[in-house]
Homo-oligomer: A and B are copies of this chain.
Amino acid sequence: MSPLEIEALLLSVQVALTAIGVSLPLAIFVAWLLARKTFPGKSVLDGIVHLPLILPPVVVGYVLLVTLGRNGTIGRWLFETFDITLAFTWKGAAVAAAVMAFPLMVRAIRLSLEAVDVGLEDAARTLGASPVRVFATVTLPLASPGVLSGAVLGFARALGEFGATITFVSNIPGETRTLPIALYTLTQIPGGEDGAFRLVLISIGVAFAALLVSEIMARRLKVRLGT
């Protein structure tokens, strides 16, 4: 692999891992809200979660730019309060990837949470566990295959994220030029096919590695879940 390819690869993995690592807890929380609670505006929340899926990624990227850019309300606040700049940085790329992966994670986790037997949660409560503890010690472990599945799905999506990323954080070598962006760039010039093909292979390699790891984890989980 050329240094540029390695750079793009490492950046991609960093961005995707950050994206999933940061958004997973929120995804679990939102999935739990959707799976177990009824509250006004629930379907609005559900809709908002799905928006990044429905809107063309470029639109999502544009919305991110408008809100999280340095002139966006949130972006300005982040910058002034925490000195954090998202637009045109790899952190922004992670945010874009996280946003795009979010609905996928929420769906998978929600599905698993809904499948957890409420009877077991009841049993835990009669044993003195508070709802939070029940969630942490019973619900979440039992839903962990779904959490893992959602994380894998999200990771893959984050790895492949292109439209929102390039719109929000541009294509800055070493900062935001992830694998898909490098790949896209290559497809835009005649004769770029060979280089593009190499990047496709690298992407596939990463994906297979990630899937392999996740399958091993899933098997361990199964053993731990005793099924």
Contact = CB atoms under 8 A, between A and B. Distances in A.
Interface string A90-104: 000000000000011
Contact of A200 (B50, B59, B181): B59
Interface of A: 43, 46-47, 50-59, 62, 103-104, 107-108, 110-112, 114-115, 145-146, 149, 152-153, 156-157, 159-160, 162-163, 180-181, 183-184, 187, 196, 200, 203-204, 206-208, 211-212, 215
A162 B163 contact: yes
Contacts of A111: 108, 111-112, 145-146, 149
Given A53-B156, A54-B156, A56-B180, 4 more contacts: A51-B207, A56-B184, A107-B152, A114-B145
Contacts of A207: 47, 50-51, 53-54
Contact of A54 (B51, B104, B159, B163): B159
B59 A187 contact: yes
A152 B108 CA distance: 12
B204 A46 contact: no
A-B complex: 5 closest residue pairs judged by Cβ atoms? A56-B180, A54-B207, A56-B162, A53-B156, A54-B160
A96 to B, nearest CB: 13
11 contacts: A43-B211, A53-B157, A53-B207, A55-B204, A56-B162, A56-B181, A57-B162, A58-B184, A107-B153, A114-B145, A162-B163
A184 B110 CA distance: 31
Which among A46, A55, A211 has the highest number of chain B CB atoms within 10 Å? A55
